[in-house]
Structure 1
Amino acid sequence: MTDEALHPFGPHFGFGLYVHWPYCARICPYCDFNVYAAKDRDPSLLVEAICADIRAHRNRMPEHGALDSVYLGGGTPSLLAPGDVERILKAADEAFGVKPGAEITLEANPNDVMRADLAGLRSAGVNRLSVGVQSLRDSALAFLGRDHDADGARASVAQAMRVFRSVSVDLIYARPEQQADDWQNELADVLALGMPHLSLYELTIKEGTPFGLAVGRGQITPMPDDDQADMFELTQDILGKAGLPAYEVSNHAMSPEHQSVHNLIYWQGGDWIGAGPGAHGRVTVGGHRYAYEAHRRPEVYTANVQALGSGWGDAERLEPNAIAQELLAMGLRPASGIDIARIEAVSGRPVSREKIAVFVDQGWVTFDQGVLSLTPSGRLLADALTAQLAS
């Protein structure tokens, strides 16, 4: 049995810290994240609570080594000053250590990029910027409720690339009434920016969001599933030919050095701490895997850290079947796939070779030396295939 089968999850597959900054200057109508209007809030109390929460994790996880990555997401962490980012990273380094050359990512809105002290953020420790461009069409940006225009987006990416070696751009496609030829032209415009990493997400309309309510009123008609599938395949083809192949269902990189270290921790079954209101974590302690979510409301999170020393809300020890299903669902997302022996070691039962053989015959997966991987056509069916294999 391989070492991976003996130890099928945990920090040896990567160890990261996710920091959730919940405030936004404007809340987008498609967003269902744990976010709140920034207004004129003083960030200092929440920054200190996040730092204290990170330090508290050290006591729970005494055997964990240094961090492979830190990811500041949100919300809009680019609203933070470099000094606040430096305080958070210092707390992480004091608590666990941050490996030399570790990936330190900060999500940023284009307008913030143009007015932020990027050199200060780099000096604070950030070495990768993820810019929420979302579109290079002004009409689409207006529909998505963004506060920047296409020219501002282009300028922000150029500015980011002058300061940071690794820059990622987020885009949202499969928008209502979006045409394939216009998306092809938009992708060409994006590729001309020259960034080494792209994250492309089909517009997902969630219940309870303004978009979800608009769909219920008949004001928005989501793109039909078949058209979304066509858009996905077009995207894969264009980016593959442009030298940014998919290394995961929604993520494309120019080379392995620009793949997201932090996201690979999620996909490969590593451990990560979640700090900040509503942040999720997965940690392995004493051979058991725990899932937890920090308190969602910033004021409750801060008060709990001040009173109890921790922002943790609910924590759950995961049962073997839940761990196995999560490893399978996440492990199939990257192009590298997952060793089935890991799934079987956790669940204690075999993954159906008959089902795998059918999926191979259909051209949806490859199965080589125990490693199961999705093919490009299989990526369209990732959730359905996972459900079949987990049953």
Structure 2
Amino acid sequence: MPSALPIADPAPADGRLPASVLDGAEDRALGVYLHVPFCRVRCGYCDFNTYTSDQLRGARRSDFAGQAAEEVAFAAAVLADAGLPQRRASTVFFGGGTPTLLPPADLAHMLGAVRDTFGLAPGAEVTTEANPDSVDAAALRTLADAGFTRVSFGMQSAVPHVLEVLDRTHDPERVPLVVGWARDAGLDVSLDLIYGAPGESLDDWRRSLDTALALEPDHLSAYALIIEDGTALARRIRSGEVPAPDDDLQADMYELADERLAAAGYGWYEVSNWARHDGARSRHNLSYWTGEDWWGVGPGAHSHVGGVRWWNVKHPAAYAQRIAAGGSPAAGRETLDDATRAVERVLLETRLADGMPVDRLDTGGRRAIAGLLADGLVEAGPAFAGRVVLTRSGRLLADGVVRRLLPAEGSAPT
């Protein structure tokens, strides 16, 4: 089952936000995330908040689009009551789960609720995730006609034995088909890859990269496999059935990916993400990394508005009950203090190719830059220009770089 929700303050039943969310609101964009928590099968490595048919306990997929639309209306009322400026959604992202397990008409209905309630900003980015075996040409055309601009396919690997250990069910031969159908429909295409699966060799990973690049996606994400407690894959590793990922091999795989992608004309803009040009970057994900506002709709979805963060009840049945009652579906909430927000900015912005302004750091953090330069972990040119930008080696050691930049416990960056 999915991991537990964070422990924090109770969320108010009416969703009311504190006055502090108004500070700087006119400078923040608004995004909407819709979490569709349904999967045909549960992948062995996954600890996302997803449910197969036998785990729904009376909740029905067919009811979900209407429930999500009701939460969108609730969101608009809460934001208006807080006195926030009216903002059209600049990005909309359908994640999961497998959003495309729902009929295209249901996804169009949810997008229509966002459009009718908030409006969509000119050039809004509208993305859905999809498994290669969950869409066909007609479905992709319907999504494009409804206003979707982008699809992110969970390719993960081109190698059958790697897909098998990850419990992925699609035929790798289908990926070129769905990419072609998406392009025919006028959709931008992103491909998601995972590296470091048990039994995956460097040659296997090279084959996946080359296969993905041959399809010329607009965007590509490559994530190191992380073994999450409580997952089926964690149990298989613990029992000795399959080996644990090798950190050194994963580092080699990352370096290979960055080399191959750069040679093909893709620029990294976040540690695990590359795009063919700046316009192909995932603007929705960038809103997370740069601290914009977003409302998360659906079971277990997380939201952030002006330093207030909350998350919904996890199970679709509990979510349905909250929505039917007309109150907030939130399970918990926290208001971030200035010190926490400053630390998060360092943590997130150092992952970006655009870098983090040096003036976010305290005196100790600024002094640490000299050592990071000497160790080859940050780029010299940007550092002298006042920004911290990671080298390739620095990206491999990003968490360690952040620890060296952060202030001593109990203090905050100036």
Alignment TM-score > 0.5, same fold: yes
Q: Do the aligned residues in 1 keep the contact of 2:35 with 2:94 (CA within 8 Å)?
A: yes
Which region of structure 1 is more displaced relative to structure 2, 110-119 or 150-159? Answer: 110-119
Which of the numbers 208, 226, 247 marks the counterpart of 2:248? 226
Structure 1 vs Structure 2 CA RMSD = 2.0
How far apart in 1 are the matches of 2:330 and 2:219? 33
What's 1:357 paired with? 370
Amino acid at match of 2:292: G
Matching residue's letter, 1:373: V
1:338–1:372 Cα contact (<8 Å) kept: yes
Q: Which moved more, 1:177-186 or 1:95-104?
A: 177-186
Q: Deviations over 1:178-212 (max 9, x none)?
A: 22233223311221112111111111111100001
Residue 248 of structure 1 pairs with residue 248 of structure 2: no
CA deviation digits over 1:135-167, x for unaligned, max 9? Answer: 111121122111111112222222222213310
CA distance in 1, matches of 2:138, 2:123: 23
1:256 and 1:281 map into 2 onto residues whose CA distance is 26
Residues 167, 197 of structure 1: 8 Å contact kept: yes
- After superposition, the C-alpha distances for 1:361-390 in whole angstroms (9 at most, x for unaligned) are 212113243322111211001111112222
**Could you say which residue in structure 2 is the equivalent of 1:386?**
402
* Counterpart pick for 1:68 among 70, 90, 98: 90
User: Partner of 1:117: helix, strand, or coil?
Assistant: helix
Q: For residue 133 of structure 2, give the secondary structure of its aligned residue in structure 1.
A: helix
List gaps (5 residues or longer) in structure 1. Answer: 1-6
**Are 1:26 and 2:41 counterparts?**
yes
- Counterpart secondary structure, 2:135: helix
| Correspondence for 2:387 | 371
- Comparing 316-325 and 26-35, the one that deviates more: 316-325
- The aligned counterpart of 2:227 is 205
Q: 1:11 Cα shift?
A: 6.6
- Asked if 1:279 corresponds to 2:292, the answer is no
Helix, strand or coil for the counterpart of 1:90?
A: helix
Match for 2:281: what amino acid? Q
Identity %: 37
The alpha-carbon distance between structure 1 residues 88 and 273, as it changes in their structure 2 partners (threshold 3 A), is same
The residue correspondences of 1:169-180 to structure 2 (distance < 5 A) are: 169-180=191-202
| Structure 1 residue 8, shift from structure 2 partner | 9.8
> Alpha carbons of 1:185 and 1:219: their partners in 2 closer, same or farther (altered >3 Å)?
same
Query: What is aligned with 2:7?
Result: none
Evaluate the alpha carbon distance shift between residue 11 and residue 160 of structure 1 in structure 2; reply closer, same or farther with a 3 A threshold: farther
Deviation of 1:60 (Å): 2.5
Match of 2:17 in 1: none
The normalised TM-score by structure 2 is: 0.86
Structure 1 range deviating more: 139-148 or 363-372:
363-372
Tell me, yes or no, if structure 1 residue 339 matches structure 2 residue 352. Answer: no
Question: What are structure 2's unaligned runs of at least 5 residues?
Answer: 1-21, 409-414
Q: Deviations over 1:85-122 (max 9, x none)?
A: 12211221233221121000000010112375111111
**Residues 22, 36 of structure 1: 8 Å contact kept:** yes
Judging changes above 3 Å, is the alpha-carbon distance between structure 1 residues 13 and 238 closer, same or farther for their aligned structure 2 residues? farther
8 A Cα contact 2:159 2:204, kept in partner: no
Kept in 1, the 8 Å contact 2:358–2:366? The answer is no
The residue that corresponds to 1:235 in the other structure is 257
> What secondary structure is seen at the aligned counterpart in 2 of 1:313?
strand
* TM alignment of 1:50-61, pairs within 5 A: 50-61=68-79
Map of 2:311 onto structure 1:
293
Which of 293, 315, 319 is the aligned partner of 2:333? 315
Which structure's residues are more often strand, by fraction?
A: 1
Asked whether the equivalents of residues 144 and 187 of structure 2 are also in contact (C-alpha less than 8 Å), the reply is no
User: Contact 2:311–2:333 at 8 Å: present in 1 too?
Assistant: yes
